[in-house]
Amino acid sequence: MLQGKTIVLGVTGGIAAYKAAALCSKLKQEGAEVHVIMTSSATQFISELTFQTLSRQNVYTDTFDERDASVVSHIHLADHADLVLIAPATANVIAKMAHGLADDMLTTTVLATMAPILVAPAMNVHMYAHPAVQQNMDVLRQRGVMFIEPEEGLLACGYTGKGRMAEPEHIVEHVKQWCATAKEQAVSEVALPSKLGHDAELQPGLGGGEELLSGRTVLVTAGGTLERIDPVRYITNDSSGKMGFAVADAARSMGAKVILIAGQTQVAPPEGMEVIAVESTQDMFDAVTSQYDNADIVIMTAAVADYRPVNRATQKLKKTGEKLIIELERNPDILEELGKRKMHQFLVGFAAETEHVEQYAIDKLRRKRLDLIVANDVSRSDAGFRSDNNEVLIYEEQGLVERIPLMAKTGIAKRLLHIVAERLPAGSGQRMLTAEEVRSLE
Ligand code: PMT
């Protein structure tokens, strides 16, 4: 699976460094050429010789230890890597990467590489939850760095919780999935201009990934809506906004103008787009419908509350009897309404399911008159709500379009948008008119 791939494996100074030996060996068994860079702290936990023996390559620990006069080692490694994998990644190296520091062999290579970067953090549970670490990770995510979340369990420091580096088998699986998707993406990017035929000439830039959505306006919703019970209490859900933000950022990087409508979220929205903050489902309904005419593509990633309290107390509710019954009433279904009003727009919904995924997803697709629906299993802890990763099934009216295996939400978003771009009618006669063109006809 990894035959012909060059992987730079960065090992940093945590107890999980010992697991990196198994990781190195497994990557090698899958056919990858593995070049290991260790930080000086990593050498306190495991020896250079271990990695040299397993990888059958020189191990790098010092930027200035240039063994081959014909190359500058960190640039050479950076240029030749298909993937840079950092496992385990300490809070320190994550912070250095987020701030662009380059004071050792690993961080100089990371800064110099154009290859994708995959990071498997490992640290104490409180360190991992610390806002500084989480913010650094968010910054890196926005730059396209992928993360394999640590697992929960007993940590070497004695605590139990989230912080244990993902198992080497899991990381290798992730690398293989990334590799398969990257290959598919490359094929679809090469295939697209020929699929579009003469139309590609009519729409300059459609052949390249970066320009696939140029001239289009993409409306994305993200996060969860929130329904107030009284001034201090509310009903909401677990959506962090990560999936929607990844979709919005990917659309922007593919040349689209993006309007992002965000409910309650736990991470910062991406830059380079108009962001409209909303609270309740009704607020989201108003914002989305007011922007609908301007949109060519709508992707509803938000987790929308189906019900709201009939009465919203203006003062904080006081304790009264043993039970408090809150009466709820139906919220509008935003996507269903968009389906009814659909003109030129390409509509994509997300389906949060726990069972009968295909049946429920296709039912939503038909009921809401969608072009595509992206189903995810929200009962999983390693995907769906809040996780950095997701695994999705994309359906159209005729059935399954593609199953995207577990990977970073940023990767899912890019692949989804490629699938959307492939389906936009192309060519002067049948091309979907952009929102601007529709207005100019009116
Ligand atoms: O934000 P994250 O933590 O990254 O999590 C991502 C996610 C799990 C929220 C996301 O991947 C996801 O599944 N979003 C859809 C959540 C949802 O509301 O699903 P649903 O099956 O209830 O609704 C189907 C579609 O109808 C959705 O596109 C939803 O936005 C839309 N809807 C639902 C109800 C409603 N009243 N109006 C709507 O428009």
Asked if the structure places residue 297 within a domain, the reply is yes
Residues 235 and 161 in one domain: no
Asked if the structure places residue 186 within a domain, the reply is no
Residues 84 and 152 in one domain: yes
Distance 375 CA to ligand 1 centre (A): 9
Specify the pLDDT at position 206: 27
Residues 285 and 217 in one domain: yes
Distance 113 CA to ligand 1 centre (A): 36
Specify the pLDDT at position 176: 87
In short, whether 351's Cβ falls inside 6 Å of ligand 1 is: yes
Q: What are the angstrom distances between the C-alpha of 74 and each of 4, 44, 63, 102, 335?
A: 20, 22, 7, 11, 50
- Residues in the chain predicted with pLDDT less than 70, given as ranges, are 181-210, 426-442
**pLDDT (tens digit, 9 = 90+) per residue, 251-295?**
999 999 999 999 999 999 999 999 999 999 999 999 999 999 999
* Residue 390 CA, closest ligand 1 atom number: 11
In short, whether 27's Cβ falls inside 6 Å of ligand 1 is: no
Instruction: At 173, list the tokens.
Output: 């699986």
Active-site residues, by number, are: 157
Q: Among all chains, which residue has been given the structure tokens 């662009």?
A: 100
Distance 225 CA to ligand 1 centre (A): 10
Instruction: Give Cα 274 to chain centroid, integer Å.
Output: 20
Binding residues for CTP: 306, 316, 332-335, 350, 364, 368
Specify the pLDDT at position 429: 34
Specify the pLDDT at position 436: 66
Specify the pLDDT at position 156: 85
**212 touches 206 (CB < 8 A):** yes
Specify the pLDDT at position 437: 62
In short, whether 374's Cβ falls inside 6 Å of ligand 1 is: no
Domain count, the chain: 2
In short, whether 413's Cβ falls inside 6 Å of ligand 1 is: no
Q: 233-235 and 328-330: which strand pairing?
A: unpaired
Specify the pLDDT at position 47: 97
Asked if the structure places residue 190 within a domain, the reply is no
Specify the pLDDT at position 69: 83
Residues 210 and 144 in one domain: no
The residue range of the domain holding 35 is 6-175
Residues 221 and 287 in one domain: yes
